[in-house]
Amino acid sequence: MADGTCADDFAPLRDLLDRSLDDGADAGASIALVHDGELLVDLWGGEARPGVPWERDTLVQVWSVTKTMVGLATLVLADRGELDLDAPVASYWPDFAAAGKGDVRVRQVLGHTSGVPGWTPPLTVEELMDLEHSEAILAAETPWYEPGSAPAYQMIDHGHLLDAIVRGATGRSLADVLHEDVVAPLGGGFHLGVPDDLLDSCADLIAPPPLDLDPDHPPTDFLLRTVLNPSLSTRTCNSAPWRRSAVGGAGGHGTARGVAQVQAVVSHGGEVGGVRLLSEAAVDRIWEVQSSGTDLVLDVPLTFGLGYGLETPAAPALPSGRMCWWTGYGGAIVVNDAETRTTFAYAPNKLVNHLVSSPRTDAYVRTAFDCLGAS
């Protein structure tokens, strides 16, 4: 049975988590929902590791949900005037102008149209975790396609690109900005680089079953180039060096509560819990479409705003309207609905074959918003 708190109107969400834990669809997970400034759902259950119960503050890697957190940190800096989203990346990171990338804008990085969704030279995991080293390789990269012409999901290097921009603009790392200026004021519960004293609080990831590829619909060349360079196994991600690292495209660890309470600043017009991080104008910019169409990496239709995915048929469970979101490999997700002032987050450790959507995650999202509509 799940532990935690849940408003009566959201009992079906608790029931779904209980069933998922009972039948093994989830090994361990947390879910949270913030609505109109209140944490109405804060549930967790299952096992973090065999024989170790999932507790209130158990952390788990949420993969690309991390992108929403580093995107938010970048938007906060822009709203303060510390960087310009419409400026060339090279104005903050001069080396990035190499190989014809001088006109790529910061907003295009946030919208996954930088032209460099990955690394061409072979990269080890150790090199990936050395941010300044792997960022220098990205700066020299020749664009894989014409920047700005289509979405090409920056699967792993998204955080590297933003870290180099933020470092050049402020002299601070992206992780420091995220922790000090965004997460801490909103209650904690998320880490880009887990501190040593919290390593034992991390849940171990469980690998998904082997993917049964469709011979009539093979992976894109870009997907193979990003997934395999370097390959991130659950064994790697369960290691202390990886958890300590600050890979902002995939490596963030948090509770669903921590993710939801931070991201609620977006669904609540820039201010939640008495803390204002963004002006309403800055929040509005999230819905400025930066790219839309079949993504050259994931090969599904996607629309990206500034730092977030927007409404798309590729994720049918999402609510329609003024909504922004993103998901993580294996199933984690955060959804911000600005019309209802609601943020929902789900953070599991048992991974399924999920890139943009999957039945398990879709069920949580649908149930959460069905409960909201019925309340």
Place of tokens 């398990």: 360
Where along the chain do its domains lie?
Answer: 3-374
Q: What is the DSSP-derived secondary structure letter of residue 200?
A: G
Strand pairing class (291-294; 275-276): unpaired
Return the pLDDT at 212: 67
Q: Among 250, 276, 278, 229, which Cα is nearest to 123's?
A: 229
pLDDT of residue 1: 83
pLDDT averaged over consecutive 10-residue blocks of the chain (375 residues)? 96 98 98 98 98 98 98 98 98 98 98 98 98 98 97 98 98 98 97 98 95 73 95 97 98 98 98 97 98 96 98 94 97 98 98 95 98 88
Whose CA is closest to 143, among 84, 103, 86?
A: 103
Considering only the top CATH level, what class is 3-374? alpha beta
- Full-model pTM: 0.97
pLDDT of res. 175: 98
- Where b means 16+ CB within 10 Å and e means fewer, 276-299 reads ebbeeebbebbbeebbbeebbbbb
Identify the pLDDT of residue 211. Answer: 73
Give dist(CA 138, CA 342) in Å, integer. Answer: 36
Q: How many CB atoms lie within 10 A of CB 136?
A: 15
6, 33, 110, 207 from 71: Cα distances, Å: 29, 20, 7, 27
Residue 213: its pLDDT value, please?
62
